[in-house]
Amino acid sequence: MPSILIVDDDPVIRNLLNQILEGFQESGVRLLTAENGEAAMESIKREKPDIIFLDVMMPKMNGFEVCDMVKRDPETKDIFIIMLTAKGQEIDKQKANALGSDYYITKPFNIDEIMRKVVDILGIRPS
C-alpha cells in the first residue's frame, strides 16, 4: 500500500496537506504525519513511505538533516522527497538539491502542483 508522509511542525500545514491529499486515501494511499525531524525519521524507518513532504525549518532536526539521512541510507534513498518550505532563496534550493531532494516547492504552495506531483509519482489518481 503506497504511503505519503507529511512532515511539518505547523499543525495547520499538516492538516491542510492532509485535506488536500485525502482523496488519495480512497485510492488506497495511507497518509502519515510527523511534527518534527526526529518523529519523521522514526516514521520513515518504520513505514518507508513512497513520498515525503518535508518542511525545512523544524525543531529537533531540520528538513535538510532529514533529507540527508534518508538519501544516505540504502534502505530509504529511493523515497521521493519534496521539500515544502518557506525558504525560497536559491541557496536553499541548491542545498536541498545537493542533499538529494527530488523536488522543491515554496510556501505558499499551489494545491494543483501538489496534486499533479503525487499523481506523477504514484501513478494513482485521487477518488
Task: Give the residue extent of every domain in the chain.
Answer: 3-122
70 close to 42: Cβ distance less than 8 angstroms: no
55 close to 63: Cβ distance less than 8 angstroms: yes
* 0.75 exceeded by pTM: yes
| CATH code, residues 3-122 | 3.40.50.2300
Render each residue's pLDDT in the chain as its tens digit; 127 residues: 999 999 999 999 999 999 999 999 999 999 999 999 999 999 999 999 999 999 999 989 999 999 999 999 999 999 999 999 887 788 989 999 999 999 999 999 999 999 999 999 999 998 8
Kindly calculate the radius of gyration of the chain based on its CA atoms and give it in whole angstroms: 13
All cell numbers assigned to 73 = 541510507
Question: What size, in residues, is the chain?
Answer: 127
Give the closest residue to 51 by CA, choosing from 96, 6, 99, 84: 6
Plot region of 28 (φ>0 → left; ψ -120 to 50 → alpha; else → beta)? left
Burial class (CB within 10 angstroms; exposed 0-12, middle 13-18, buried 19+) of 1 = exposed
